[in-house]
Amino acid sequence: MPNSSRVSLIVLAAGQGTRMNSDLPKVLHRVAGAPLLHHALRAGMALEPQHVVVVTGHGGEAVAASARDFDETASVVVQEPQLGTAHAVAQAAPILAEVPGDAIVLYGDTPFIREDTLQAMRDARARHAVVVLGFEARDPGRYGRLITRGEELDRIVEFKDASAAEREITLCNSGVICAEAKLLFQLVAEVGNANAAGEYYLTDIVELARKRGLSAGVVVCDEAETMGVNTRAQLAEAEAAFQSRARAEALENGVTLTAPETVFFAMDTVVGRDAIIGPNVLFGPGVTIESGAEVKGFCHLEGCHISRGAQVGPFARLRPGAELAEDVHVGNFVEIKNAILDEGVKVGHLTYLGDAEVGEQTNIGAGTVTCNYDGVMKHRTVIGKRVFIGSDTMLVAPVRVGDEAMTASGSVITENVPAGALAVARARQVNKDGFAVRLMEKLRAVKAAKKDNT
């Protein structure tokens, strides 16, 4: 019986993915804003593994960096040359061969294995030394076939090596395997390459285990979980599958989606109950929306937090570091980046707030810009509580506006504004009587002369 508190992950991510027709390693192509590799790691993390080993090959440095972006404690090993899945797993032996507990082999290009499926495999280890994840395929195609005898798994046959009768079997191999780590590496060391492809197949460990008198079993999951990504078309299918599932889960959890088919979630999007999401909203990574907030149509959100009762959009963009407190209103054509908006702030339209802090109940007029970049460095703007920023105000950072202050419309604020003060920073208006008419007559004459000369 397995020790339920001890499990390690081995994630195979060495493939080049030539059918992707890309310079980017296959497992770094994105679904829902995250690399395929991260989806696989996320599923495995639900088991709280004591060790994570990622096996890289093609584009190894980039894959290793991505793995550590997700889990900085992950170990990375290199498979070179790439001689098959058993050979890939063997690269993890120096790290895991003597580690107590189970090991589960996952694949970086198979993003949708569910957490409860992996837990079912661990539970099945109470009955079997080796557990394989299988699925009933609508079209078995070139998948490996699972050959069973009653409730026991006898062996796995790769399509290339299968007989005509074996190819009629619809119970297929996902490639995901769970076994005690020590046993796994012992079996892998015995795998040969006497097959049609001349590769060392991980699937051979089932037959090797049986020869030792050990039991092997199958956990069956829905075919959709085993979707692999090998082409651009399959990448698009994976994106569609993720979005369909994410929308259904959001609706089930009490989120209102007014046009679900037009909303696109990221892998880590969090939306609270009774939030309302309008049409054509795109979530990038790192977005949290609290219960009762509303995001109107055609918004793009990334790396931001929207609190209860806040309203955003339509046509707003929130970039990384945007923090909206309760009852904030951000209107159309507003962009916010690395800025904190306290409770009740109103930013109605046509405004950019970058590298800023805005105090509670402050009103930001249309056309306001925090001029935060001097061409080399970014600078911060701090606006106090209950401030009124007039329309078309340019706030040249670094600058501070005190509580209950005001800026006159059209001002260019380059100095701090004391609390309670009105800042006026614009040239005096001068009206020249009749000048507009005379100027237009002159310009029309010049235009007419040019036309006559042609």
Q: Are residues 219 and 360 in the same domain?
A: no
Looking at the domain assignment, is residue 418 inside a domain? yes
Looking at the domain assignment, is residue 128 inside a domain? yes
Q: Are residues 69 and 207 in the same domain?
A: yes
Looking at the domain assignment, is residue 277 inside a domain? no
Give the separation between CA 207 and CA 280, rounded to whole angstroms.
51
Mean pLDDT of the residues in the chain: 95
By CB neighbour count within 10 A (0-12 exposed, 13-18 middle, 19+ buried), where does 213 fall? exposed
Instruction: List, for residues 39-68, the tens digit of each pLDDT value.
Output: 999 999 999 999 999 999 988 999 999 999
By CB neighbour count within 10 A (0-12 exposed, 13-18 middle, 19+ buried), where does 6 fall? middle
Give the separation between CA 235 and CA 227, rounded to whole angstroms.
10
User: Which of 169, 199, 226 represents a domain boundary (last residue)?
Assistant: 226
E strand or H helix that includes residue 16: none
* 19: three-class secondary structure by DSSP: helix
Q: What range does the domain containing 364 cover? A: 349-447
**Active site residues per annotation:** 349
Tens digits of pLDDT across the chain (454 residues): 444 569 999 999 998 888 999 999 999 999 999 999 999 999 999 999 999 999 999 889 999 999 999 999 999 999 999 999 999 999 999 999 999 999 999 999 999 999 999 999 999 999 999 999 999 999 998 899 999 988 899 989 988 889 999 999 999 999 999 999 999 999 999 999 988 788 999 999 999 999 999 999 999 999 999 999 999 999 999 999 999 999 999 999 999 999 999 999 999 999 999 999 999 999 999 999 999 999 999 999 999 999 999 999 999 999 999 999 999 999 999 999 999 999 999 999 999 999 999 999 999 999 999 999 999 999 999 999 999 999 999 999 999 999 999 999 999 999 999 999 999 999 888 999 999 999 999 999 999 998 888 7
E strand or H helix that includes residue 272: none
By CB neighbour count within 10 A (0-12 exposed, 13-18 middle, 19+ buried), where does 151 fall? exposed
* 277: three-class secondary structure by DSSP: strand
* 260: three-class secondary structure by DSSP: helix
Q: Angle 79-84-89 (CA atoms, 0-180°, nearest 5)?
A: 55
Q: What is the pLDDT of residue 198?
A: 87
User: Which of 226, 258, 279 represents a domain boundary (last residue)?
Assistant: 226
pTM of the model: 0.89
Looking at the domain assignment, is residue 55 inside a domain? yes
Give the DSSP letter of residue 446. H
Q: How many domains does the chain have?
A: 2
* 167: three-class secondary structure by DSSP: helix
User: Which of 226, 252, 269 represents a domain boundary (last residue)?
Assistant: 226
Q: What is the pLDDT of residue 452?
A: 84
Q: Are residues 16 and 161 in the same domain?
A: yes
Beta-bridge partner residues of 364: 347, 389
E strand or H helix that includes residue 189: helix 181-190
Q: How far is CA 222 from CA 112, 136, 219, in A?
A: 10, 7, 10
**Do 195 and 160 meet the contact criterion of CB atoms below 8 Å apart?**
yes
Q: What is the dihedral of CA 69, 70, 71, 74, to 10 degrees?
A: -80
How, if at all, do strands 300-301 and 317-318 pair?
parallel
Angle, helices 181-190/204-211, rounded to nearest 10 degrees? 100
Q: What is the CATH number of the domain that holds 384?
A: 2.160.10.10
Give the separation between CA 105 and CA 427, rounded to whole angstroms.
70
Give the separation between CA 105 and CA 87, rounded to whole angstroms.
13
Q: What is the pLDDT of residue 5?
A: 67
Strands (E), 88-188: 102-107, 130-136, 145-149, 152-157, 171-180
Q: What is the pLDDT of residue 197?
A: 82
**Do 229 and 111 meet the contact criterion of CB atoms below 8 Å apart?**
yes
Q: What is the pLDDT of residue 4?
A: 52
Q: What share of the chain is helix, strand, coil (3-state, %, to 5)?
A: 25, 30, 45
Looking at the domain assignment, is residue 197 inside a domain? yes
Of 314, 313, 312, 317, the residue nearest 328 (C-alpha) = 312
Q: What is the pLDDT of residue 3?
A: 46
Q: How does DSSP assign 26-90, residue by residue?
A: GGGSEETTEEHHHHHHHHHHTT--SEEEEEEBTBHHHHHHHHHHH-TT-EEEE--S---HHHHHH
Looking at the domain assignment, is residue 357 inside a domain? yes
Give the separation between CA 203 and CA 158, rounded to whole angstroms.
8
Looking at the domain assignment, is residue 398 inside a domain? yes
**Distance from first CA to last CA of the chain, Å, rounded?**
95
Q: Are residues 211 and 79 in the same domain?
A: yes
Give the DSSP letter of residue 407. E
Tokens of 413: 């604020």
Give the separation between CA 7 and CA 44, rounded to whole angstroms.
10
b/e map of 190-209 (b: 16 or more CB within 10 Å)? ebeeebeeebbbbbbbbbbb
Q: What is the maximum span of the chain, computed from C-alpha positions, in angstroms?
A: 105
Q: What is the CATH number of the domain that holds 134?
A: 3.90.550.10
Give the DSSP letter of residue 373. B
Looking at the domain assignment, is residue 129 inside a domain? yes
Instruction: List, for residues 291-344, the tens digit of each pLDDT value.
Output: 999 999 999 999 999 999 999 999 999 999 999 999 999 999 999 999 999 999
Of 396, 437, 436, 444, the residue nearest 417 (C-alpha) = 396
**Do 120 and 218 meet the contact criterion of CB atoms below 8 Å apart?**
no
Q: Are residues 222 and 355 in the same domain?
A: no
**Do 405 and 422 meet the contact criterion of CB atoms below 8 Å apart?**
yes
Q: Are residues 43 and 192 in the same domain?
A: yes
